[in-house]
Chains A and B, each alone.
Chain A
């Protein structure tokens, strides 16, 4: 009974994610005017027939911006998650398999990265990047940075799992039978790391979505006029107004729904891994 209910929830979560992704991918057809058009005569307008979620402070259609912002966040967060998971597999998995000094050195680097003050690091990275970059490039750079810096926790988990596998009977047997180190890692260790890699990948997606949102609130990350969930959430800075204008909460609600849906899907991946 409990298993059946959980499956229903996971199914619903998958359906929600597919729906959100599908609608955001169809943004060009649903909101053909685009996310940057400024209806200056109707700035900060409440929801209406013309603007379903009203307009932002400079008159841009909020519904269009939510659609396009969702597309950006939902497409690039998995890409960044993939990058960070691959790096974690390479650094954590390989060092755990090699063990000894390799493992200690890799974990020292990982600990160093974990101890870095992320916020200040990201502010510094943004400050040294070239200024004259297009909004699209800024999006790519933001998620690239997130991907390049977000591998550390996963690397620790993978290092421990890989070390366990290294000392397992089947690996010892394979080694004794004369299989080379590279082939052994590729054919026997890596496939056994897959469930952990999947789990790390799914965990990273909502984490990166939230990180981008945090960066957006700080004025870093995706550049104007391109929307992202982060830039849309910036509208909530004036807490006084939220109760009076509940439609401004839509990006927040959508973010919560998507992250929760990912968690439900993730639970299934973890069960599969177990």
Chain B
């Protein structure tokens, strides 16, 4: 009898442990990838789906906390960047193994960095480190200490390692041996991907429990957002990482506790005029588009508040410039969004020789101010914004024709033939550092959209931007870099080569059974702390 009681007691204790464990330990998190991952090799990642896999499986030396935007130690216990911004020394954690049991050491870091900088591999992640000609030098000081020296200063050097998943130099499983919280277990092309918990993951929580809490993650490949939404409503998915404002409101009306608006994201919507000298536009239109007064007047005549409130149902903020207010450090807080003032805009245009005749604005040579805005067909938010801008500009006598084109045709006009007048598109920013925008602001760049690949800066303000961007890129002093980039933002505001419209909010949905998710504005919004997410 006594023995039976003891058995029951032990069984009860064991059951309690299992139940307590189940609050954290079991379960499968399910969400969607919007496209097929192109690669599992972390250094070759350039698409969103592959970046998701890298985030969930890759172990990094340092990680930017998506909530505080501060850099935190991961595989590196500590690190030090030299004053000239060329060298970084990492002190690594010991006793860590890859998912297949291969021990982790400084050799793996050296191997990863060499691969990263190998011109033959042409790693998109490595581009951020290529600041000058020459080779990178890696010096293994001890199994837990490594020094990496770049040929030229790399701005925000330590931050760049947030994207570098460390690969094993010795594992036979190559890139499938990982240091992150999960590892790829099963992949059904076109259908789904199953990630299993990495049994050798090194992290524990404050109570000493091994992370991650959940056993597995099922990623269904589903490009259709309607289907994704329906499946979420049917409890077949636990997360929607980025939600449209329309769906956000509809879902929020039924279950307000499931939707999250984290505020303005890094993404911006903007329009710009064609300022390419060799474009096949008539000379008088080129003169309008190259005039700072014209661009500013158009910018002032656009009601950004309405765009945010109507098109994005209040889930967007009027944009100021190339940096979203969400980017806490780099945003120039002195700048405010262009105020809506059609009267001021009209006066400014009249001061430039434009005049109003029977409701139509004409330039000093009598040409009616008419231009087209192209946007990509199928993007209902951009189509709506263009239609609202058309209506706004009508008030100052400017006639706008809205044209929707398929994306390849639009890109061809934007980058090859330059046969367009104005374009409305969005920019997705993933990183916080201004260096991520180098390819947009340098006048020699292909992505300097309003006037790409200039042989020499065609205007004084573009020359100043070039100088400031290079200055900030070659400096290791965050204060100096900030000053230079603040000035860039001021010039962009004054000259309006891009007319920034809105910053969309980061909207997401998290099912009621998910615990510990705390959506933020930075990618990946809902599962940035995946190792601490659990399921009820």
Residues of A bordering B, CB below 8 Å: 36, 38, 40, 43-44, 57-59, 123, 126-127, 131-135, 138, 218-220, 223-225, 234, 237-241, 244
Contact = CB atoms under 8 A, between A and B. Distances in A.
B386 interface: yes
A132 B405 contact: no
Interface of B: 226, 229-230, 246-247, 250, 306, 309-311, 313, 370-372, 374, 377-378, 380, 383-384, 386-388, 390-391, 399, 401-406, 409, 419-421
Contacts of B246: 57, 238, 241
Contact of A223 (B313, B370, B399, B402): B402
A58 B387 contact: yes
A25 B386 CA distance: 28
A220 B377 contact: yes
A127 B388 contact: no
Contacts of B388: 38, 40, 58
Given A40-B306, A220-B377, A225-B390, 6 more contacts: A127-B409, A131-B372, A131-B420, A238-B226, A240-B226, A244-B250
14 contacts: A38-B388, A57-B246, A57-B380, A123-B409, A126-B409, A131-B372, A131-B374, A132-B370, A132-B401, A133-B372, A134-B399, A224-B390, A237-B380, A241-B246
User: What are the 8 tightest A-B residue pairs by CB atom distance, in nearest-first order?
Assistant: A219-B377, A219-B404, A127-B409, A224-B402, A131-B372, A224-B387, A132-B372, A43-B310
Contacts of A36: 391
Nearest to B379: A219
A220 B376 CA distance: 11
The A interface, classified by DSSP as helix, strand, loop or mixed, is loop
Contacts of B419: 131
B406 A127 contact: yes
A239 B226 contact: yes
A44, A135, A224: residue with the most chain B Cβ atoms closer than 10 Å: A224
A132 B421 CA distance: 9
Contact of A127 (B250, B378, B405): B405
Contacts of A126: 405, 409
Contacts of A239: 226
Nearest to B251: A240
B310 A241 contact: no
Contacts of A234: 380
Given A57-B311, A132-B371, A244-B250, A220 B404 contact: yes
Contacts of B403: 131, 223
Nearest to B408: A127
Contact of B386 (A59, A132, A224): A224
Contacts of B383: 219, 224
A227 to B, nearest CB: 11
B226 A58 contact: no
Given A220-B377, A244-B250, A131 B391 contact: no
A57 B310 contact: yes
A215 to B, nearest CB: 10
B387 A225 contact: yes
A126 B403 CA distance: 10
Contacts of A58: 310-311, 384, 387-388
